Amino acid sequence: METSLQAPVIPSPAVRDTVGIRKRIRRSFRQIRTESVFKQTLVIAGLILVILVLGILLTLITQSLPSIRLLGLKFIWGSTWNPVKNVYGAFPFLLGTLLTSFLALLICIPFSIAIAVFLGEYYPSGWFADVLKNAVELIAAVPSVIYGFWGLAVLVPMVRSLEARLGIDQPLGVGIFSASLILSVMIIPYAASLGRSMIQMVPEHLKEAAYGLGATRWEVIRHVVLPYTRSGLFAGILLSLGRALGETMAVTMVIGNSSILPKSIFAPGNTMASVIANEFTEADKTVYLSALIELGLALFLVTVIINIIGKKIIDRFTNE
């Protein structure tokens, strides 16, 4: 370290070299300046993001204060939503959101894990893998209103005939179940693509160890690949849950928009997001508007809580 602080000894014939060296040193000072500018840019970008999230939270809280003051905890547990009488109970929507999201998750898990294993381990290259990979990515790129159309035109009649066959009176087709089906298709790419990249990262030497012990491909996947990647698979599923909780357009179009507590998964209902989308333009009273914003706050909190729980579970998996 000390030698670098001393002035460099320059041989006399190479005077022009001194200039070159000075130039280079000046350049390195410039590099140091660039470095600190770069670092500041990163810090500012990060801070803006944090401020933005806090700002959103603050706006939600202040805007929902009138409704919080009027209703208190009744807002969460009340099961009647009647803006005409100024009664706002969000429990049906909370239930609707959780029910559609978890049902969607349940439907999507086997498909997304199967796609992840197929593309990550079983068949990572070839024309079929390419087609499948692109198709899965395309699923995420389709605008959600298109899913809504497709749901109304194709899925709802199918669900309606299923309901009729199951002997449910008033087979409507629209409802919680249809919304879950649409959601499950929409969230597949998130879990599948993250799962695929995790599975591709399983070290070759671990798989070889298992093959060397006489394991078949299925046994390698079952005992080496899946245990090794379970936290990643779980993270992907959590990501899709986050997407499912907040999805608005497609759900609004097929869920039936009923503010009554749903009696079964085939009954029409509403999610928090779909209520906001449907009623925001109709909110003519301050309290009504405030109640809708409180609904947004509740959605925000539910998403945050589920994400925190998920992170904790991932930590526990990875620490094992």
Partner 1 sequence: MESTIIKSRKFNASFGINHVVKNVNIDIPRNNVIAVMGPSGCGKTTFLRCINRMHELIPGATCNGAMTINDEDIYTMHPIFVRLKIGMVFQRPNPFPNLSIYDNVIAGYKLNGIKLARAEKDRIVEHSLTKVALWNEVKDSLLKKGTFLSGGQQQRLCIARAVAMEPEVLLFDEPTSALDPISTATVEELFHELKANYTLIIVTHNMQQAARVSDRTAFFYMGELVEYDLTKNVFTNPKDNRTQNYITGRFS
Site stretch for partner 1 (CB under 8 A), options 25-33, 81-89, 202-210, 268-276: 202-210
Site for partner 1 in 122-151 (CB under 8 A): 125
Q: Does 110 bind partner 1 (CB under 8 A)?
A: no
- Minimum distance from residue 317 beta carbon to partner 1 (Å): 10
Question: Minimal distance in Å, beta carbon 230 to partner 1?
Answer: 9
Q: Is 213 in the site for partner 1 (CB under 8 A)?
A: yes
Number of residues that bind partner 1 (CB under 8 A): 20
Does residue 215 touch partner 1 according to CB under 8 A? Answer: yes
Least separation in angstroms between residue 234's CB and partner 1 is: 14
Shortest reach from residue 308's CB to partner 1, in Å = 25
Name the residue nearer to partner 1 (CB basis): 121 or 247: 121
Among the listed residues 216, 304, 305, 315, the single contact to partner 1 using CB under 8 A: 216
The DSSP code sequence of the chain is -HHHHSPPP--TT-HHHHHHHHHHHHHHHHHHHHHHHHHHHHHHHHHHHHHHHHHHHHHHHHHHHHHHHHHTTHHHH---EEGGGTEE--HHHHHHHHHHHHHHHHHHHHHHHHHHHIIIII--SSHHHHHHHHHHHHHHHS-HHHHHHHIIIIIHHHHHHHHHHHT-SS--S-SHHHHHHHHHHHHHHHHHHHHHHHHHTS-HHHHHHHHHTT--HHHHIIIIIHHHHHHHHHHHHHHHHHHHHH--HHHHHHSB---SPPSSTTS-B--HHHHHHHHGGG--SHHHHHHHHHHHHHHHHHHHHHHHHHHHHHHHHHH-
Shortest spacing between CB 124 and partner 1, in angstroms? 9
- Least Å distance, CB 123 to partner 1, is 11
Subset of residues 222 to 251 that bind partner 1, contact rule: CB under 8 A? 223-224, 227-228
Assess 206 for contact with partner 1 (CB under 8 A). yes
Under the binding rule (CB under 8 A), the answer on residue 169 touching partner 1 is no
Which chain residues interact with partner 1 by CB under 8 A? 125, 203, 205-206, 208-216, 219-220, 223-224, 227-228, 320
